[in-house]
Chain A
Amino acid sequence: MNATNPFDEIEQFLGRTPFAGERAWGRDLRTADIDVAEYDDEYVVMADLPGFDREEIDVRAHDGRLTIAAERDAEREDADRRYLRRERRHESVTRTVDLPATARLEDATANYRHGVLTVTVPLDALDADEGHRIDVD
């Protein structure tokens, strides 16, 4: 029998590494909020990345994982410029998503609009769930 660690499950559920450093009210400021939707023929990942330029966003697919990274110049703060509140996410944000084996990474497209990155990955029509069919002679 193997006992599962509840923290592992929570971690899995959140899809984030625990104790990843800075958090505000349970929120990791270094990751982006994402939606991952699977349709019949495509996988759509949407990430909230407000306040970036297209050039500052890097999307990579490697080993069946999609990595989204965005980085912008840090806002300066000095004696003349004081933060009364600072809740917005960090200047550097990354997030990784596992993709299914049927994902056709070479045909993936990405679009950035109104601070939301949308990555669309077509899926092969393989009936992966049903297994490989073997004809009987």
Chain B
Amino acid sequence: MTRRDAFDEIEDLLERMGREFEELGGTLGGTGPEVPRFPGARDVDVDVIEDDEAITVVADLPGFDAADVDVELRDDALVIAGSREESAEFDIADAGNGGAEDDADDAGDADSAADAADDTGEADEVRYHRRERRLRSVSRRVPIPEPVEADAATASFDAGVLTVTLPKRSPDDDRGHTIDVS
């Protein structure tokens, strides 16, 4: 029976911590000129699922349109970003006076419009009882623990959920490119 080495465990721990820091760095790097966020606060909740063929990353991005979502495989990490346009002034009128359907259809816009209204001090007609939803642009860096085929990656976006499938690189590829001998 092999007894687990204490140093192995420490190494494991350090590796895990390193990953977390790496992630944190990724998040902070992506914040841009916006209001600084609480460090470590997660912008985007993700599930990472591994099976024999692929690594699947599932990310919650409620309120975003497919066109607003950007996915990139950079080094050994998947970088997910959702950007929201700053609202135009006239949206405020929509949000306040528009009918129910207008509000519902332009759910996202109404949000950011309200934000803008707050900033410009024109919020006299709206009162927020709760504000928990994240309304700014968001990003997240997810380390991918195994080599994957970047070219074969696929992504879909439905009901505010992004699903990225990254097929694992087959063991053959690890040995390098095979050259036929004639």
Contacts and interface: CB of A to CB of B under 8 A. Distances in A.
Given A35-B130, A46-B107, A51-B160, A88 B48 contact: no
Interface in A37-83: 37-40, 42, 44, 46, 48-53, 75, 77, 80-83
Contact of B42 (A33, A77, A87): A87
A46 B126 CA distance: 14
Given A84-B145, A115-B62, A50 B161 contact: yes
A118 interface: yes
B3 interface: no
User: Does more than half of chain B's interface fall in helix, strand or loop, or is it mixed?
Assistant: mixed
Contacts of A86: 47
Nearest to B146: A84
A50 B107 contact: no
A38 B64 contact: no
B130 A115 contact: no
The 4 lowest CB-CB distance pairs between A and B, nearest first, are A115-B160, A111-B104, A50-B160, A115-B62
Contacts of A38: 126-129
Given A111-B105, A114-B108, A34 B130 contact: yes
A120 B161 contact: no
Given A35-B130, A114-B108, A42 B60 contact: no
Interface in A75-107: 75, 77, 80-89, 97
Contact of B46 (A85, A109, A114, A120): A85
A112 B158 CA distance: 12
Given A35-B128, A109-B100, A87 B159 contact: no
A113 B66 CA distance: 12
Given A48-B62, A82-B49, A36 B128 contact: yes
Interface of A: 15, 25, 33-40, 42, 44, 46, 48-53, 75, 77, 80-89, 97, 109-116, 118, 120, 122
Interface residues of B, number: 45
Contact of A44 (B46, B110, B161): B110
Contacts of B114: 37
B101 A109 contact: yes
Interface string B119-144: 00000011111111110000000100
Contacts of B129: 36-38
A65 to B, nearest CB: 13
Residue of A48, A49, A50, A110 with most partner-chain B CB within 10 A? A50
B50 A82 contact: yes
A37 B126 contact: yes
Contacts of B64: 114
B172 interface: no
Contacts of B134: 33
B104 A114 contact: no
Contacts of A48: 60, 62-63, 133, 160
B52 interface: yes
Contacts of A87: 42, 45-47
